[in-house]
């Protein structure tokens, strides 16, 4: 349990994070994965040498895969194409077979990851489909472990539980335990826009018009899993894909907690409800998994920008801020004196050497100074004879932070082409200017 200090500084209540990425599989799903297998063994549904089958976004699969290694089972997992590649790669690394299915199909579609898993259970001898959505061992795990831990760690002072809602196991099982201890504890479930859970909670209606594709991972549903007992949940709050992703990054930078997508959404949901909290309240947010599984997604600037989630300064922004100044270039056959004159005329330090449409080298004020100082006669030499290597070519929308790592003693500038195919240059001075604004 870790106290949040910076992001929640304006909240009068004490906000604690139940960080579950310290489990062997780096997520809270380890708890229910082990429990589902233990119950299946006890009930005779899973026998030695059998095959565990599950539809999973990755974390449940990791818990099951680790359990399978210890107990000697095989694993086949179905997942959706919206899940991060890291999750599938990690599952394969621990010996599981992973089948990727389309996201944008209804649960009953034969190609959905639910349907494929059911089909495999029928086709493979001695196979067991865990079905974390309807398997009540899921919520039992949290009733027996997560709930009691939170009660003990807060010394019974918890007043609010905040948790993202997916299969329903974590939020329901934990809530059942805590409300047995104190029925006054408020349980807030955090959902994503595009999921039907919130409307179902509020109206009891399964409205498929609520369902549309969303990017958030690990929570939200397009059906109602049997693990839910809505009577132990007091409120549902929806969070956008963008807000959840941005908050996850904020958690890493401001609280030092490198968590997954759902953790950001969980905290964002709390921030949207902060006006309901009082000074003596003790809030526990459940952070399900580790950020390492989202490095290519929410922790990748390019991925975030492509979805409009991140507004960062880029090469393009620097160029647009220079009021249309043209790029000064020089040809290989021109003289060093001409290069020096261009630098003086335009007050620049770096000039790309261009042959036709191709950049073949570069000349810099510092480099030419050293050469002319040691050999004054070199002024009449051609640029080709003294030029340095060409500047690195980057994408026009490369973030400024990335540019700063490319500009060094060897590379005094970087180049990029705009949509028209025209070259532009950014120097160390340009980067410093942009960061200072």
Token digits of residue 241: 């894909």
pLDDT at 437 > cutoff 80: no
428/319 Cα distance (integer angstroms): 13
The catalytic residue positions are 29
Q: How confident is the model at residue 155 (pLDDT cuts 50, 70, 90)?
A: very high
pLDDT mean over 86-98:
89
The model's confidence at residue 435, banded by pLDDT at 50, 70 and 90, is low
DSSP codes, 301-351: HHHHHHTT-----BHHHHHHTTTTPPPP-B-TTSBHHHHHHHHHHHT-SEE
> How confident is the model over 311-365, as pLDDT tens digits?
777 888 888 887 667 889 999 999 999 999 999 998 999 999 999 888 999 999 8
d(CA 51, CA 346): 71
Mean pLDDT, all residues of the chain: 92
Sheet order of strands, 423-427 included: 393-394, 413-417, 423-427
Q: pLDDT digits over 176-230, tens only?
A: 999 999 999 999 999 999 999 999 999 999 999 899 989 998 899 989 999 999 9
- Listed in sequence order, the residues at least 6 apart from 123 whose beta carbon sits closer than 8 Å to its beta carbon are none
User: What is the pLDDT at residue 96?
Assistant: 94
Beta-sheet pairing, 282-287 with 393-394:
unpaired
Beta bridge partners of 15: 283
- Can you tell me which residue has the tokens 């480099």? 367
Sheet (strand 186-192) strand order: 2-3, 14-19, 282-287, 160-164, 186-192, 235-239
Closest CA to 78 of 225, 68, 64: 64
Spatial contact of 119 and 55, defined as CB atoms under 8 Å apart:
no
- The pLDDT confidence band at residue 57, using thresholds 50, 70 and 90, is low
Q: What are phi and psi of 163, to 5 degrees?
A: -155, 140
pLDDT of residue 90: 87
CA distance 187 to 266: 12
**C-beta of residue 64 within 8 angstroms of C-beta of residue 70:** no
* 16-35 burial: b if 16+ Cβ within 10 Å, else e: bbbbbbebebbbbbbbbbbb
Share of the chain above pLDDT 90, in %: 69
DSSP string, 125-161: TTEEE--TTT-THHHHHIIIIIHHHHHHHTTT---EE
Span 240-245, average pLDDT: 97
302 vs 337, more confident: 337
Query: What is the arithmetic mean of pLDDT over 121-141?
Result: 95
**Residue 391, phi then psi, degrees to nearest 5:** -70, 150
HSE on the CB side for 221, CA within 13 Å? 25
Q: Decide if 263 contacts 257 (C-beta within 8 A).
A: yes
Reported as half-sphere exposure (CB side, CA atoms, 13 A), residue 32 has a value of 34
pLDDT at 83 over 90: no
User: Has residue 130 got a pLDDT over 90?
Assistant: yes
User: pTM for the full model?
Assistant: 0.74
pLDDT given at position 397: 84
Mean pLDDT for 241-263 is 97
Report d(CA 11, CA 341) in Å as an integer: 61
- Bin 237: left if φ > 0, else alpha if -120 < ψ < 50, else beta: beta
CA-CA-CA-CA torsion sign (40, 41, 43, 45): positive
* β 282-287/350-355 pair status: unpaired
> Which value, to the nearest 10 degrees, does the dihedral of the CA atoms of residues 198, 199, 205, 209 take?
-110
Residue that wins the pLDDT comparison between 406 and 153: 153
pLDDT above 70 for 436: no
pLDDT at 288: 96
HSE of 354 in the Cβ direction (CA atoms, 13 Å)?
15
- In this prediction, residue 412 carries a pLDDT of 85
By residue count, the chain amounts to 437
- Name the residue with higher pLDDT: 366 or 176: 176
Rounded-to-integer distance, Cα 379 and Cα 134, Å: 80
| 3-state helix vs strand vs coil in the chain, percent to 5 | 40, 20, 40
* SS3 assignment, position 32: helix
What pLDDT, on the 0 to 100 scale, is given for residue 29? 96
Residues 48, 54, 57, CA angle at the centre, nearest 5°? 140
- What torsion do the CA atoms of 155, 161, 163, 169 make, to the nearest 10 degrees? 80
Q: What is the pLDDT of residue 324?
A: 67
Per-residue model confidence (pLDDT) at position 89: 87
Q: How many C-alpha atoms does 80 have within 13 Å on its Cβ side?
A: 21
Confidence of residue 272 (pLDDT cuts 50, 70, 90): very high
């Amino acid at each position: 349990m870790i106290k949040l200090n910076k992001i929640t500084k304006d909240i009068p209540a004490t906000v604690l994070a139940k960080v579950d990425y310290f489990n062997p599989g780096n997520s809270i799903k380890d708890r229910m994965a082990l429990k589902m297998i233990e119950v299946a063994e006890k009930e005779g549904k899973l026998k030695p040498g059998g095959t565990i089958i599950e539809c999973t976004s990755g974390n449940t699969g990791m818990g099951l895969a680790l359990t399978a290694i210890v107990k000697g089972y095989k694993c086949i997992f179905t997942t959706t194409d919206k899940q991060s590649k890291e999750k599938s790669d990690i599952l394969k690394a621990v010996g599981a077979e992973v089948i990727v299915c389309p996201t944008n199909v209804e649960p009953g579609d034969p190609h959905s990851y639910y349907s494929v898993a059911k089909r495999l259970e029928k086709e493979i001898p001695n196979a067991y489909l865990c079905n974390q959505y309807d398997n009540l061992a899921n919520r039992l795990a949290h009733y027996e472990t997560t709930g009691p831990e939170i009660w003990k760690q807060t010394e019974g002072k918890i007043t609010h539980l905040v948790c993202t809602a997916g299969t329903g196991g974590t939020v329901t099982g934990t809530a059942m335990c805590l409300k047995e201890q104190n029925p006054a504890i408020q349980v807030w479930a955090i959902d994503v826009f595009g999921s039907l859970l919130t409307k179902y909670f509020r109206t009891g209606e399964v409205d498929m018009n609520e369902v549309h594709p969303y990017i958030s991972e690990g929570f939200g549903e397009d059906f109602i899993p049997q693990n839910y007992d809505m009577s132990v949940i007091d409120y549902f709050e929806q969070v956008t894909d963008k807000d959840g992703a941005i908050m996850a990054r904020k958690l890493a930078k401001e609280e030092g907690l490198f968590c997954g997508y759902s953790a950001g959404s969980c905290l964002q949901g709390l921030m949207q409800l902060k006006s309901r909290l009082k000074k003596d309240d003790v809030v526990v947010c459940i952070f399900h998994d580790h950020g390492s599984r989202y490095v290519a997604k929410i922790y990748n600037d390019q991925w975030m920008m492509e979805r409009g989630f991140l507004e960062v300064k880029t090469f393009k922004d620097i160029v647009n801020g220079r009021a249309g100044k043209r790029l000064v270039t020089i040809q290989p056959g021109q003289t060093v004196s001409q290069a020096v004159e261009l630098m003086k005329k335009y007050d620049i330090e770096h000039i790309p050497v261009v042959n036709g449409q191709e950049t073949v080298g570069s000349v810099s004020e510092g480099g030419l100074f050293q050469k002319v100082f040691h050999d004054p006669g070199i002024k009449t030499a051609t640029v080709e004879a003294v030029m340095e290597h060409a500047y690195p070519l980057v994408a026009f929308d490369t973030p400024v932070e990335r540019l700063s790592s490319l500009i060094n003693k060897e590379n005094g500038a970087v180049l990029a082409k705009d949509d028209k195919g025209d070259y532009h240059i950014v120097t160390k001075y340009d980067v410093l200017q942009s960061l200072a604004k």
